[in-house]
Amino acid sequence: MKIHYISENNSVLNHFLGQIRSVNIQNDSMRFRRNIERIGEIMAYELSKNLSYKNVEIQTPLGIKKTTEIESDLVLCSILRAGLPLHNGFLNYFDSAENSFVSACRHHPNNDDAFEILVEYQALSNLNNKTVLLLDPMLATGQSIVAVHEKLVQNAVPKEIHIAVVIAAPEGVAYLEKNLPENCHLWVAALDEKLNGKNYIVPGLGDAGDLAYGNKL
């Protein structure tokens, strides 16, 4: 698996990352969603440099211009519900892409810190020979993304899979490296320090779904 860290150099990306982390700004859920969306737009631009392109000729009012356009057949797939603002950011740039959605959540069967991943709702496009962009704001343990990946390839053979996350823990990155095939790419906006005892990212930002859409029961 090839890993791309895209916040190593200073840019407006780091500005938006700082805002989504700030406890003084997080209480504005609309601003939080919009900043995640803008981060998605920046990540989509960076990821676009690794897609396949074809040569085309464009008719202008004054002549013909040779240029290139995306040749890859793209499918955006976000993990509900936290992935929706990130999905919108990617869709703003890849507006002709197909769209898929999967739900994944931590289930604590014994009401303690131990959990398993439940993948339930699925609304999937035809993924065969497509370039799939799997979107989730937070990469903590990595178990959700691996579980969703297993669902995606159960009945389809994508051409390649790009996983885009806003904030990642080193433990989650290592888990993906161990459990995903070599044709996967991982795009990370920010790599954080570690997971805490409850497997939350530190310093992280909290629960991205709750910050975007309100606390769940």
Domain assignment of residue 42, yes or no: yes
Give me the pLDDT at residue 117, please.
80
> Is 74 inside any structural domain?
yes
What pLDDT band is residue 119 in, cutting at 50, 70 and 90? confident
- Which tens digits make up the pLDDT trace of 155-176? 899 999 999 999 999 999 999 9
CA distances 34 to 18, 142, 201, 213, Å, are 13, 25, 22, 12
Q: Among 78-92, 101-115, 122-136, 176-190, which is the least confidently predicted range?
A: 101-115
* 123: in domain: yes
How many structural domains comprise the chain? Answer: 1
Q: What is the DSSP string of 111-143?
A: SSS--EEEEEEEE----TT-EEEEE-SEESSSH
pTM for the full predicted model: 0.92
| Residue 59 belongs to a domain | no
**Confidence band for 217, pLDDT divided at 50, 70 and 90:** confident
Check residue 175 and give its pLDDT: 96
Residue 115 has pLDDT above 80, yes or no: no
Is 167 contained in some domain?
Answer: yes
Write out pLDDT tens, residues 58-89.
999 999 999 999 999 999 999 988 999 999 99
How high is the pLDDT of residue 216? Answer: 80
In a domain, 58, yes or no: no
In a domain, 140, yes or no: yes
> What domain range is 16 assigned to?
2-52+69-213
CATH number at residue 87: 3.40.50.2020
